[in-house]
A = this chain, B = another copy of it.
Amino acid sequence: MERQDVVIVGAGIFGLSIAYHILRENPGKHVTVFEKFGTCAQGNTAKSAGAFRNVFSSKTNLLLADTSIDFYMDIHRKGYDIGLEQAGYLWLMSASQIERNKTVFEGMMKEGVELKFFEKEDLKKVMPYLNTDIDPDDEEARMMGLESIEKGIQGVKCGFVDADKLTRFYEGEVKKMGGSVIYNTEVEKPLLEPKEKLGLECEPLIWQDVEITGVKLKNGHTVNADKVIIAANSWAPQILDPVGIDCMIKSVKRQMFVLRNPKLNVLTNVHGFNSMGVLPFTIFPKASVYIRVDRIEGSVWASGHEHFGAPYCFEEDPKATDEYYDYNIYQVLRKYMPIFDGLKASNKWAGLYDMNTIDANPYIFETHNVIIAVGSSGSGIMKADAVGRITAALYAGRTEAELYGGKKFKVSALGIKNRQVDAERFIL
């Protein structure tokens, strides 16, 4: 393969957004995306909840998401089918949660985030099947630490998006601009070579000057490139550790369960939150258990996770287990929405979050001719457009990126050395 200007590793939404924005800014450049799976978005992108929100406590996450959502809404309006439905996010919160997050919500609103507050009585009217009041005599609920729902907080500029279709939008545009996306081709690691080769098998030697000159594929071939960009999510450490680049992320598993039952049809007939009359992406007051209606499939997705103690562990093919649903998510769901009582998961999958464990904002930085864009921390879909723009700016050597809508963003703020972000508190 001929020398590339840019090789991008990973055809998830980060990798393809990056390819799109680099090609948009640099028409004619040779940009190739390598992907181990057979098509795009097959890593952790497609395993996501397919949702978007601009509700973040970190101003950086907020800005990245808010401008990316504007871009997604724009292409949606232009007629691209990306499955966008502005259904909203609905946090059902206990009195103590509201108290804890009061200043956070105030901060968001100051940044322009549109939030709507619903009193308990309003919630009951709209969703008569919602159990807002935990019975003080319910021993199970006490043991589970369940609290009554006091208020609903709706993020308005939030909703559902088809992560697969959105990624395909970027893929299509990349191809139109002449970029290559090569599937079923796994990158083993960046190609680390001595500047002056000796032809020895044990090169590079410690006294040789080295540089990263491209990528080594698992099929044994090498591809030279002026710049290598790693957008491989949880796979990034597997690719970068072998050449001594720390991409600072840990993988943590999340499991998703699909429920189908006529009893759940009421969730597509909820009025007061959005024009579609559908239940927003709804988060219950315990263990971030959430549900998300899939109107097309006529199903409901459910997930949730512990707030501390989930193992950091990379797995090539993480699996969801029925026990995880039965003992964990289901127990919370049935208490707050008894219509879930007795329902088993009809389908399930698991993916990995590539967590930035320090602040849960993305990392975008360059070292030794490699640009790394990782740390989506479970909210990569909704920030991917901004990540693409910032990475393209870093590639071009600019200190500022222009996000969709014109806002400027200091590229180094997402780097390691001069990082300037606040820690995210709203991780789902």
Contact = CB atoms under 8 A, between A and B. Distances in A.
A231 interface: no
A200 B327 contact: yes
Interface stretch (A54-62, A103-111, A240-248): A240-248
Most buried by B among A146, A286, A328: A328
Given A306-B210, A323-B202, A327-B200, A313 B241 contact: yes
A328 B210 CA distance: 14
Interface string A385-428: 00000000000000000000000000000001100000100000
A357 interface: yes
A14 to B, nearest CB: 21
Interface string A292-321: 000000000000111011111100000000
B206 A329 contact: yes
Given A207-B331, A328-B207, A331-B205, A312 B196 contact: no
Interface string A182-207: 00000000001000101010101111
Contacts of A208: 144-145, 306
Interface of A: 143-146, 192, 196, 198, 200, 202, 204-210, 241-244, 246, 250, 252, 286-287, 289, 304-306, 308-313, 323, 327-329, 331-332, 357-358, 368, 416-417, 423
A312 B204 CA distance: 16
Q: Chain A binding site: helix, strand, loop or mixed by DSSP?
A: loop
Nearest to A358: B416
A423 B416 CA distance: 12
Contacts of A305: 206
B368 A206 contact: no
A416 B304 CA distance: 27
Contacts of A207: 144-146, 286-287, 289, 328, 331-332
B244 A308 contact: yes
Given A144-B208, A145-B209, 16 more contacts: A143-B196, A145-B207, A200-B327, A202-B323, A205-B306, A205-B331, A206-B306, A206-B329, A207-B289, A210-B309, A241-B311, A242-B312, A243-B309, A244-B309, A244-B312, A246-B358
Contacts of A306: 204-206, 208, 210
B358 A311 contact: no
A352 to B, nearest CB: 13
Contacts of A328: 205-207
9 contacts: A206-B304, A207-B332, A208-B306, A210-B308, A241-B312, A244-B312, A246-B312, A308-B368, A358-B416
A311 B196 contact: no
A311 B209 contact: no
A262 B261 CA distance: 85
A360 to B, nearest CB: 12
A246 B357 CA distance: 7
Contacts of A289: 206-207
A305 B204 CA distance: 11
Nearest to A195: B145
Most buried by B among A143, A204, A311: A311
Contacts of A329: 206
Nearest to A243: B309
Contact of A250 (B144, B246, B310): B246
Contacts of A206: 287, 289, 304-306, 328-329, 332
A-B CB proximity, top 5 nearest: A246-B357, A206-B287, A206-B306, A241-B312, A206-B328
A141 to B, nearest CB: 10
A199 to B, nearest CB: 12
A319 B48 CA distance: 41
